[in-house]
Amino acid sequence: MNLYAESSAVLAWLLGEEEGSRVRVVLAGADIVIASDLTLIECHRVLMRAVTLGEITEADAADRRAHLNAAAASWNVLRIGAEIVDRAKQPFPAERVRTLDAIHLASALAARSAIAGLELLSLDGRIRTAAGQLGFSLQPE
């Protein structure tokens, strides 16, 4: 299985949320994982915000960043280039798509043009709805 990993799923794993164990299993079973720069940026920002709000300690955030960096070292990180920006400006099915969601969907479409059968890993309902209408198989099932 080849995956595009969207931020909501990666964060669930990283933060130990209820769905995080399912996400971890899906990520571990993937042959290829593609993530956008945006996925990594969002994950780092959430950790910084959690420290600022006193939800986790800086030491805990550092451990989680280390886990993310170790996992991402084996991922293919997709840069947010002109093709992705241009596609993100276009309409999507189920058009309740927010800006960052549009960047994720455009990134997944760009990745799918290079990797046939790419599946989308997300826990976000809006992204899952739009991605399903774009023909993506969704993970977790």
Q: Which domains does the chain have, with CATH numbers?
A: 2-139 (3.40.50.1010)
Tokens encoding 34:
């593609």
Token output for 59? 């030491």
Residue 141 is predicted with a pLDDT of 86
Could you give the CA distance from residue 71 to residue 59 in angstroms, rounded to a whole number?
A: 19
Report residue 13 as tokens. Answer: 């794993």
pTM of the model: 0.92
Mean pLDDT throughout 2-12? 97
Q: What are phi and psi of 28, to 5 degrees?
A: -65, -30
Residue 49: band (very low, low, confident or very high) from pLDDT cuts 50, 70, 90 = very high
Instruction: Give me the pLDDT at residue 54, please.
Output: 96
What pLDDT was estimated at residue 135?
95
Alpha carbons 116 and 28: distance in angstroms, whole number:
20
C-alpha 6/C-alpha 34 separation (Å) is 9
* 105 three-class SS: helix
Please, what is the average pLDDT of the chain? 95
Task: Kindly report, residue by residue over 104-140, the tens digit of the pLDDT.
Answer: 999 999 999 999 899 999 999 999 999 999 999 999 9
Asked whether residue 21 carries a pLDDT value surpassing 90, the answer given is: yes
Per-residue confidence (pLDDT) for residue 93, from 0 to 100: 84
Q: Where are the alpha helices (DSSP H) in the chain?
A: 7-14, 20-29, 37-52, 58-72, 82-88, 99-112, 125-133
